A = this chain, B = another copy of it.
Amino acid sequence: MPQAVSPSDPAMPWLDAVKWSADGLVPAIAQDAASGRVLMLAWMDRDALARTAATGEAHYWSRSRGRQWRKGESSGHVQKVRELRLDCDGDAVLLVVEQVGGISCHTGRERCFYRQLEADRWITVEPVIKDPRVIYSHD
């Protein structure tokens, strides 16, 4: 259970510095602290960002499922946040993370950006480390 946070807490004016979209979200980039690789891009609502800061573990908002999720809650592939950064316009967040298990993508790959453009085609250039059926078998 994440630490309880109150997004409207006046003691958290740093959340007001974020320019939330009309949907109340901000894009969040996760970068691996060790390798420097960009792992994924996901979205956060205000509460997810507050919980991320409060717990030190990445929380996101799933647009497809319409709910907040703690990264790794099913897979165990938690992201421990080492740095939390905001961009110049306040409309994008960067998380430098320790990626538990070395896998951030639901396909079982290290990261979500595993396709590269080569001669007008997206080519898969990174291997599956662990079968997703094994990762999510306890669900």
Which residues of chain A in 17-50 are interfacial with respect to chain B, using CB atoms and an 8 Å cutoff?
17, 27, 29, 31, 36-38, 40-41
Q: Which residue of B lies closest to A32 (CB)?
A: B36
Whether A40 touches B117, Cβ cut-off 8 Å, given contacts A27-B27, A122-B17, is: no
Q: Give the copy number.
A: 2
User: Contact at B121–A14, with CB atoms within 8 Å?
Assistant: yes
The verdict on A8 contacting chain B, using a C-beta distance below 8 Å, is no
Cβ of A78 to closest chain B Cβ, rounded Å: 19
Name the one of B38, B53, B89 contacting A31, with C-beta atoms under 8 angstroms: B38
The verdict on A11 contacting chain B, using a C-beta distance below 8 Å, is yes
Whether A120 touches B85, Cβ cut-off 8 Å, given contacts A29-B41, A38-B31, A38-B38, is: no
User: Contact at B120–A106, with CB atoms within 8 Å?
Assistant: no
**Which A residues contact B (CB, under 8 angstroms)?**
11-14, 17, 27, 29, 31, 36-38, 40-41, 53, 83-89, 92, 94, 105-107, 109, 112-117, 120-122
